Structure 1
Amino acid sequence: MDPKDTEDTEEFRLPRSRQANERLHAVIPGGAHTYAKGDDQYPENLAPVISHGRGAHVWDVDGNRYIEYGSGLRSVSLGHAHPRVIEAVRRELDRGSNFVRPSIVEAEAAERFLATVPTAEMVKFAKNGSDATTAAVRLARAATGRARVAICADHPFFSTDDWFIGTTPMSAGIPAATNELTVAFPYGDLAATEELLTRYQDEVACLILEPATHTEPPPGYLTGLRELADRHGCVLVFDEMITGFRWSEAGAQGLYGVVPDLSTFGKALGNGFAVSALAGRRELMERGGLRHSDERVFLLSTTHGAETHSLAAAMAVQTTYVEEGITARLHALGERLAAGVRDAAAAMGVGDHIVVRGRASNLVFATLDEKGQPSQQYRTLFLRRLLTGGILAPSFVVSSALDDADIDHTVDVVAQACAVYRKALDAGDPTPWVGGRPVKPVFRPRA
Structure 2
Amino acid sequence: MTHPDPDFSRFAASRAHQACAHRLIPGGAHTYAKGDDQMPEWMPVVIDRGEGAFVWDLDGNRFIEYGQGLRSVTLGHAEPRVTAAATRELARGTNFSRPSRVELEAAEAFLALIGAECVKFCKDGSSATTAAVKVARAATGRDTVAVCSDHPFLSQGDWFIGTTPMAAGIPRAVRDLTVGFPYGDVAALEAVLDEHRPACVVMEAVRDGANPTRYLRACIAACRARGVVFVLDEMITGFRWSARGAQGLYGLDPDLSTFGKALANGHSVSALAGRRDLMEAGGLGSDRDRVFLLSGTHGAETHGLAAAIAALRIARDENVAGRLMRQGARLRKGVAEVVRERLAVGSVGTAGRDSNLVFYTRDADGRPSQAYRTLFVQELARRGVLAPSFVITTAHTDDVIDQTVEAVAGAVDVYVRALDAGSVDGLLIGRPVQPVFRKKAGTVWTSVSRSGGDGAVSPPPRLSPPTS
Structure 2 gaps of 5+ residues are 442-468
Give me the whole-angstrom Cα distance separating, in 1, the residues matched to 2:62 and 2:101.
41
Q: Per-residue CA shift, 1:285-313, capped at 9, x if unaligned?
A: 11110101111111101110100100000
Could you say which residue in structure 2 is the equivalent of 1:41? 38
Superposed displacement of residue 216, structure 1 = 3.1
Do residues 32 (structure 1) and 29 (structure 2) align?
A: yes
In the alignment, what sits opposite 2:399? 405
Aligned to 2:158: 162
Match of 1:137 among 133, 138, 149: 133
CA distance in structure 1 between the aligned counterparts of 2:153 and 2:8, rounded to whole angstroms: 37
Hey, what's the Cα distance between the residues in 2 that align with 1:377 and 1:363?
20
| 2:292 pairs with 1:295 | no
SS at match of 1:361: helix
Is this contact kept in 2: 1:214–1:364, CA < 8 A? no
Q: 1:385 to 1:134 in 2, by over 3 A?
A: same
Q: Which residue of 2 aligns with 1:311?
A: 305
- Stretch of structure 1 that moved more, 290-299 or 212-221: 212-221
Q: For residues 167 and 219 of structure 1, what CA distance do their matches in structure 2 show?
A: 27
Contact preservation (8 Å) 2:183, 2:207: no
What residue is the counterpart of 1:427 in the other structure?
A: 421
Q: Secondary structure at the match of 1:242?
A: coil
Equivalence for 2:147? 151
Q: How many residues align?
A: 441
Describe the shift of the 1:369–1:103 C-alpha distance in structure 2 as closer, same or farther (beyond 3 A): same
Is the 2:206–2:212 contact (alpha carbons within 8 Å) kept by the matching residues of 1? no
Amino acid at match of 2:67: G
Q: How does 1:15-414 map to 2 (within 5 A)?
A: 15-118=12-115, 120-200=116-196, 203-414=197-408
Q: In 2 relative to 1, CA 305–146 (structure 1 residues): closer, same or farther, beyond 3 Å?
A: same
Indicate conservation of the 8 Å contact 1:214/1:363, yes or no: no
Residue pair 1:12, 1:388 contacting (<8 A) in 2 also: no
8 Å CA contact 1:240–1:252 kept in 2: the answer is yes
Deviation at 1:355, TM superposition (A): 2.4
CA-CA distance at 1:165 after TM superposition: 0.4
Deviation of 1:45 (Å): 1.7
Query: After superposition, what is the alpha-carbon deviation per residue over 1:14-69, rounded to whole angstroms, capped at 9, x for unaligned?
Result: 11111011121111111011000001101112110011011100000111000000
Give secondary structure in 2 for the equivalent of 1:380: helix
2:143 is matched by which residue type in structure 1?
A
Q: Distance in 2 between matches of 1:219 and 1:244?
A: 16
Greater shift, 370-379 or 60-69, is seen at 370-379
Check whether the contact 1:9–1:388 (CA below 8 A) recurs between aligned residues.
Answer: no
Distance between the aligned counterparts of 2:353 and 2:244, measured in 1? Answer: 16
Please state how far the C-alpha of 1:318 moved relative to its aligned partner. Answer: 0.6
Secondary structure of 2:249's match? helix
Q: Does the residue aligned with 2:145 lie in a helix, a strand or coil? A: strand
Matched position secondary structure for 2:285:
coil
**Cα shift at 1:389:** 0.3
By how many angstroms is 1:346 displaced?
1.4
Shift of 1:218: 3.6
SS where residue 320 of structure 1 aligns? Answer: helix
Aligned amino acid, residue 300 of structure 2:
A
Report how far residue 323 of structure 1 moved: 1.9
The equivalent of 2:459 in structure 1 is: none
Secondary structure of 2:64's counterpart equals: strand
Give me the whole-angstrom Cα distance separating, in 2, the residues matched to 1:171 and 1:349.
42
Give CA deviations for 1:229-281 in whole Å, capped at 9, x if unaligned.
01111000000000000001111000000110000000000111110000000
Q: What is the rounded CA distance, in whole Å, between the counterparts of 1:166 and 1:97 in structure 2?
A: 35
1:12 CA drift (Å) = 7.3
Answer yes or no: is the 8 Å Cα contact 1:8–1:388 preserved in 2. no
- How do 1:7-22 and structure 2 match up within 5 A? 7=4, 9-10=6-7, 13-22=10-19
Verify the 8 A CA contact 1:9 1:385 in the aligned structure 2.
no
TM-score by length of 2: 0.93
The amino acid across from 1:112 in the alignment is A
In structure 2, what is the Cα distance between the partners aligned to 1:190 and 1:20? 49
Q: Which runs of 5+ in 1 are unaligned?
A: none
Aligned to 2:460: none
- Go from structure 1 to structure 2 and tell me whether the alpha carbon gap of 1:206 and 1:162 turns closer, same or farther (over 3 Å shift): same
> What are the superposed Cα offsets for residues 177-229 of structure 1, whole Å, 9 maximum, x if unpaired?
111000001111101101111222xx300000001244334451011011100
> Once superposed, what is the RMSD of the aligned Cα atoms?
1.1
Deviations 1:336-389 (A, max 9, x none): 001111111111111101121111100011111112111011011101100000
Distance 2:41 2:155 in 1: 28
CA contact (8 A) 1:109 1:311 kept: yes
| Matching residue's letter, 1:22 | A
| Seq. identity, % | 58
CA–CA distance in 1 between the matches of 2:113 and 2:212?
Answer: 26
Partner of 1:418: 412
Instruction: Please tell me whether the aligned partners of residues 211 and 217 of structure 1 are also in contact (alpha carbons under 8 angstroms).
Output: no
